[in-house]
Amino acid sequence: MKELTAEKDGLEGVSRRSFLGVGSAALATAAVAGFTAHAQEASAGQKPGGPTSDPGPENRGLLELNSNVNMPPVTDHGDTGPLWYSFDLARKRMEKGGWTHQVTQRELAPSKDLAGVNMRLTAGSFRELHWHTANEWAFMEYGNARVTVLNPDGTMFIDDVSEGDLWFFPAGYPHSIQGLGPDGCQFLLVFDEGNFSEDNTFLLSETVAHTPPEVLMKNSNLTMEEIARLPKEQLYIFPAELPNSLASDRASIGGASVRAPQQYTFKMTAMEPTVKGRGGEVRVVDSKNFPASSTIAAGLVRLKPGAIRELHWHPNASEWQFWLAGKGRMTVMMPEGRARTVDFRANDVGFVPAVAAHYIENTGDTDVLFLEMFKTSQFQDVSLNNWIRRMPPEMAQAHLNLSEATLRKIPAEKQEIIAG
């Protein structure tokens, strides 16, 4: 789909004690003074010897991609821990039929719940039959694939997936992925174990290679000559011929008599948006509309230029993001005044700790498209605006020092996306 192939492309000086002791008017004055001082420093940094000057070596390309990390807004403060990584920094494992690389807790230490794998398969090539210790959720970024998964009761699920589709395979259920024509596929895999490793999977090839031949004879009625032809090492990602039609493959294994009752795939981008407005749209998929996805919920978010994913937090899980298109920035706010702003582009991964307030803003001139994923059965978020407006007015006035008339300017209902 075309939407998935867009370009990849003051206050710090106030201590916590003094912050609590000053009135809101004084605090506003301090904030303005801080912004002014920051602007003066930035200007001075353009001259030799300025306080923000950097006469040493610089990686200009990296600085341009991460300007808010290197020169943060004055509202940033303290250390939140890492919130960003990129698949473009991850080593690719190259195979004859494609490649794979991953971003796990080893690369993004705070992400204890989810890990991600990006994989490419050429037309006909297999991600060999295998199974995992973790549940597998997937989003098709490009192309077409055929997927299979076997239930413990012997029923089998076979389906074809295309760009914008999802699948979910439970832990321990053996499955396969095969690239179809005309150009194979590429997809994101998300696992509900932060320290998951794509290299540490259970493979059909290794299972038969490390079972004594005499046991294979008893178990599978094979002769020694037939056992000798079995693979002696892992296949992992390997080329093969394109499969028969989907209908033919389903019929060849027994048809309706062995068909799995569960639906393990879902057409995410084909569904109507859960939320849609001038600033963009959100599609939410969780166990309520995709029952198989029992441990991972997700939102596919599109932001128009200048729009923001409103200030919010998630009460039931940390957030793992994958950026598909455009560029933007996010600030995450933590206890004790900690806050950090990070820039993102396509193929980046973002992380937000559970219950941490944050927003996402489109800072480019094309649409931003990203996935937000959670280790939970149901998608939940809390809107800051919605919370403020649900308070009795006197409660909001006491906390924010705003008049009741001014408070009414704040949207009363959850917006999800606010146009720029």
Dihedral over alpha carbons 388, 394, 398, 399 (to 10 degrees): -10
Q: Could you report the per-residue pLDDT of 168-202, keeping only the tens digit for each?
A: 999 999 999 999 999 999 999 999 999 999 999 99
The confidence score (pLDDT) of residue 300 equals: 98
pLDDT at 180: 98
Residue 91: phi and psi, rounded to 5, are -65, 135
Domains and CATH numbers, the chain: 2-7+271-418 (2.60.120.10), 91-266 (2.60.120.10)
Question: Residue 41 pLDDT more than 60?
Answer: no
Nearest to 295 by CA among 154, 196, 394: 196
Tell me: pLDDT of 38 over 90. no
> What is the pLDDT confidence band of residue 411, given thresholds at 50, 70 and 90?
very high
Peptide bond into 182 cis (omega under 30): yes
Task: Say if residue 320's pLDDT is above 80.
Answer: yes
Rounded to the nearest 5 degrees, what angle is found at the Cα of 258, between the Cα atoms of 256 and 263?
A: 80
User: Is-contact 352 312, C-beta < 8 A?
Assistant: no
Asked whether the predicted pLDDT for residue 2 surpasses 60, the reply is: no
Compute the average pLDDT of residues 370-374: 98
> How many other C-beta atoms are found inside a 10 Å radius of the C-beta of residue 54?
11
| Region label for 281, one of left (φ > 0), alpha (ψ between -120 and 50) or beta (otherwise) | beta
Mean pLDDT of the chain: 90
- The secondary structure of residue 241, as a DSSP letter, is P
Name the pLDDT band for 33 (thresholds 50, 70, 90). Answer: very low
Q: What is the predicted pLDDT for the residue at 51?
A: 79
What span, in angstroms and rounded, lies between the C-alpha atoms of 177 and 100?
A: 13
Predicted confidence at residue 141, as pLDDT, reads 98
Contact 400, 393 (CB under 8 A): no
Residue with tokens 């297999």: 126
Predicted local confidence at residue 48, as pLDDT: 65
Cα–Cα distance, 253 to 257 (Å, whole number): 9
Q: Which amino acid is at 61?
A: G
Predicted confidence band at 50 (pLDDT cuts at 50, 70, 90)?
confident
Over the stretch 199-256, which tens digit does the pLDDT of each residue have? 999 999 999 999 999 999 999 999 999 999 999 999 999 999 999 999 999 999 999 9
Quote the pLDDT of residue 103.
98
CA 52 to CA 50: how far, in whole Å?
A: 6
Give the mean pLDDT of 95-117.
Answer: 97
Q: Region 395-414: what's the mean pLDDT? A: 96
Higher pLDDT, 26 or 314: 314
pLDDT of residue 317: 98
Extract the annotated binding site for Mn(2+): 130, 132, 136, 175, 312, 314, 319, 358
pLDDT of 37 > 60? The answer is: no
d(CA 370, CA 188): 12
CB atoms within 10 A of CB 242: 12
The answer to whether 357 touches 312, Cβ cutoff 8 Å, is yes
- pLDDT of the residue at 53: 83
- Residue of 295, 343, 351 lying closest to 322 (CA atoms): 351
Q: Which residues are catalytic?
A: 372
**CB hemisphere CA count around 298 (13 angstroms):** 30
State the average pLDDT over residues 77-103. 97
Neighbours of 312 (CB within 10 A): 19
Specify the range with the lowest mean pLDDT, choosing from 6-15, 45-54, 325-334, 404-413: 6-15
Q: Which residue has the higher pLDDT, 103 or 19?
A: 103
Residue 143 has pLDDT above 50, yes or no: yes
- What does the pLDDT read at residue 54? 85
pLDDT at residue 47, rounded to an integer: 56
Stronger pLDDT, 119 or 34, i.e. the higher one: 119
Specify the range with the lowest mean pLDDT, choosing from 59-68, 156-165, 398-407: 59-68
pLDDT at 45: 43
Mean pLDDT over residues 71-89, rounded? 96
The helix (H) or strand (E) run that includes residue 246 is helix 246-252
